[in-house]
Amino acid sequence: MENFDVAVIGAGAAGMMCAAVAGQRGLRVVLIDHATRLAEKIRISGGGRCNFTNRDAGPANYLSENPRFCRSALARYTPQDFVSLVKRYKIGFHEKHKGQLFCDESSEQIIDLLVRECGAGNVTWRRPVDVQEISVGGAAGDAGGRSFRLSTSAGEIGAKSLVIATGGLSIPKIGATDFAYRIARQFGLEMVEPSPALVPLTFTSAGWEPFAALSGLAIEARVSTGKGRSRGDFLEDLLLTHRGLSGPAILQISSYWKLGTPLTIDLLPEFDATARLLEGKAGSKKLVVTELSGWMPARLAEVWVAVHGLAPDARVADIPDRQLRVLGDALNHWTLTPAGSEGWRKAEVTGGGIATTELSSASFESRKVPGLHFIGESVDVTGWLGGYNFQWAWASAVAAAEAIAESRNPAQASLA
Ligand SMILES: Cc1cc2nc3c(=O)[nH]c(=O)nc-3n(C[C@H](O)[C@H](O)[C@H](O)COP(=O)(O)OP(=O)(O)OC[C@H]3O[C@@H](n4cnc5c(N)ncnc54)[C@H](O)[C@@H]3O)c2cc1C
């Protein structure tokens, strides 16, 4: 059996970062992944340019049953820290929108950065390798006597600390599995039910029929759902699709949306549509469609008028105030209940995961199983769209790696 200080399972964003930092702090680290292609999610991220962090990332940009859990790690390893690393590797980057930082060239550069950081930490790679079983024993352990024994397709591996960085369930076809959740179950750790997040939302085909023909149409809108602490509210682009709604506004709100509850969409966030319609009524010769087409794409205006039971040639001046109020109010408060989402196949991330009550927010170590850590997307911390999820991967990875180094070798860790 090969023995290591730390075994990290999952060589994605969080796993590579954790292995690299632990290795650079002087620990013997093995990094295991089952996929044939390395870090596929980083490769496809940000449309191939990897939105690797957000300049303004902070606790308010994350969802969790415990919104305070992410604070310590995010404060310890900031977006600026990752930007410094990116600059050290001379990777060109730019800000696209609302603090989102992307590579100028390719997400491969971030993978290459992480591989080289692992090299600097003398990390031992085991991939593609399957982990069949994990057991806890005392044989190869530290002074505390605990160690983990991994049965893998490449033989037995022993480690004093075990870090689970196998991510969530989104996009199974590129290697996502429920491994982290199975390990949590094995050791009796609580979970927050995983759900697809940052995902397009769908409607029943009958309900969506009038809008399906507008697939591809985009409009800036304010979308909200929920109440109190679980309320989401985003002003972003919204995209109509054959089956429902997508685009940044919808991906963001999907993380807050609960099945059976409505979304409210303000299609004209800049002004009060009812007031404008009533004000413009006197002396107007305009068709309603023409009036609305001044405010939104003409194709949407035509469908909007039709679904509100108005003829295509209806004139604003001829419509009773009561009906104009209904039309205007719906433009500012379009309330509709999605039937579901596009699911794991399209979700960018997983909501829920290992309950934060099970973990230390400083070290990500299990309270029940000392030496066992969960990081990255496997944990019940979900970032907004816009680089926040990678920042969580980096920050949780660094916190776990440094805590392990500190516990194994306090003197060396503090020198590093
Ligand atoms: C299409 C898409 C685009 C995205 N774009 C962005 C973006 O631009 N910015 C952003 O911040 N976030 C983005 N995300 C989200 C981001 O990719 C994830 O939040 C992040 O990768 C999570 O990191 P992780 O290390 O926890 O998990 P992952 O990166 O998913 O890594 C998990 C690793 O574990 C391995 N693994 C899984 N199961 C096993 C097993 N049983 N045995 C061994 N290994 C296993 C996998 O092969 C994988 O290598 C995007 C996601 C998607 C799907």
- Provide the residue type at 96 as one letter: K
Homologous superfamily of the 201-341 domain (CATH): Translation factors (2.40.30.10)
Indicate if ligand 1 lies below 6 Å from the C-beta of 255. no
Confidence (pLDDT) at 141:
44
Q: Is the CB of 41 under 6 A from ligand 1?
A: yes
Read off the pTM.
Answer: 0.95
* Helices 79-88/388-408 angle, 10° precision: 90
Are 273 and 291 in contact by the 8 Å Cβ rule? The answer is no
Distance 196 CA to ligand 1 centre (A): 13
Q: Identify the pLDDT of residue 416.
A: 46
What are the two backbone dihedrals, phi and then psi, of residue 76, each rounded to the nearest 5 degrees?
-75, -40
* Most informative mutation of 389, 392, 394, 398 for ligand 1 (most atoms within 8 A of CB): 389
CA dist 180 and 364 (Å) reads: 13
Pick from 269, 271, 225: which is nearest to 245 by CA? Answer: 225
- Residues in the chain with pLDDT values less than 50: 140-143, 413-416
Q: What is the pLDDT of residue 67?
A: 95
Q: Is 179 in the pocket of ligand 1 (CB under 6 A)?
A: yes
Q: Is the CB of 175 under 6 A from ligand 1?
A: yes
Tokens representing 130 are: 């399957």
Question: 2-195+350-415: what CATH class?
Answer: alpha beta
Other CB atoms within a 10 A radius of the CB of residue 6 amount to: 28
Q: Is 127 in the pocket of ligand 1 (CB under 6 A)?
A: no
Residue 38, ligand 1, Cβ within 6 A: no
Whether 376 lines ligand 1, by a CB cut-off of 6 Å, is: yes
- pLDDT tens, position by position, 313-371: 999 999 999 999 999 999 999 999 999 999 999 999 999 999 999 999 999 999 999 99
CA distance 250 to 384: 11
Tokens of 387: 């680089």
In this structure, the residue with its CA closest to atom 29 of ligand 1 is 12
- Give dist(CA 333, CA 29) in Å, integer: 54
CA distance 90 to 116: 13
What values do phi and psi take at 355, rounded to 5?
-65, 135
Residue nearest to atom 49 of ligand 1 (CA): 12
Question: Where do the structural domains in the chain lie, given as residue ranges?
Answer: 2-195+350-415, 201-341
Predicted pLDDT at 283:
80
Interatomic CA distance for residues 351 and 348, integer angstroms:
10
Q: Does ligand 1 have an atom closer than 6 angstroms to the CB of 241?
A: no
Question: CA-to-CA distance for 366 and 360, rounded, in angstroms?
Answer: 7
